[in-house]
Amino acid sequence: MNIKPIHTAADHARALKEIERLWDKAEPGTPDGEKFEVLSTLVDAYEREQIKIPSPDPIEAIRFRMDQEGLTAKDLLPNFKTRARASEVLAKKRRLNLAMIRRLHAQLSIPIECLVSDYKLRTSTASRPKVR
């Protein structure tokens, strides 16, 4: 079978290439099927350890979930209490507070870890002093 642990990016690339080769022809219970399964497990373990995927921006995660569920900002009003606050939060002019995070997590099933991550607010040009 000639399967080795994946320690480097080159090992990872070779394993991916072999998985791609086996993709359509590997049948469960056959030697190719077993090789495919073992390589997939090794690649998954390597990627979980070596490839860090950053958490999405909380507001983008909310917008993505709204899109998935076909929701509008009006549907989220119970989470924000007022239209103005909903608009400010979704426009990144105001931060989410703990109560909002809890309600959004409960309604949209967005992981708490994502909702509490830091994100940049958009600054208003009106609040900045003019440079002359």
Tell me the whole-structure pTM to 2 decimals.
Answer: 0.60
Domain at 58-115: CATH code? 1.10.260
Show pLDDT as tens, one digit a residue, over the chain (132 residues).
578 999 999 999 999 999 999 999 889 899 999 999 999 999 999 999 998 888 789 999 999 999 999 999 999 999 999 999 999 999 999 999 999 999 999 999 999 999 999 999 998 655 555 555
- Extents of the domains making up the chain: 9-50, 58-115
Residue 102 pLDDT: 97
Residue 55 pLDDT: 78
Residue 64 pLDDT: 96
What lies within 8 Å, CB to CB, of 30 at 6+ separation is none
Residue 123 pLDDT: 81
Residue 56 pLDDT: 87
Buried b / exposed e over 70-108, threshold 16 CB at 10 Å, is eeeeeebeebbeeeebbebbbebebebeeebbebbbebb
Residue 54 pLDDT: 81
What lies within 8 Å, CB to CB, of 48 at 6+ separation is none
Between CA 70 and CA 132 the distance in angstroms is 46
As given in the structure block, the two tokens for residue 28 are 């469960």
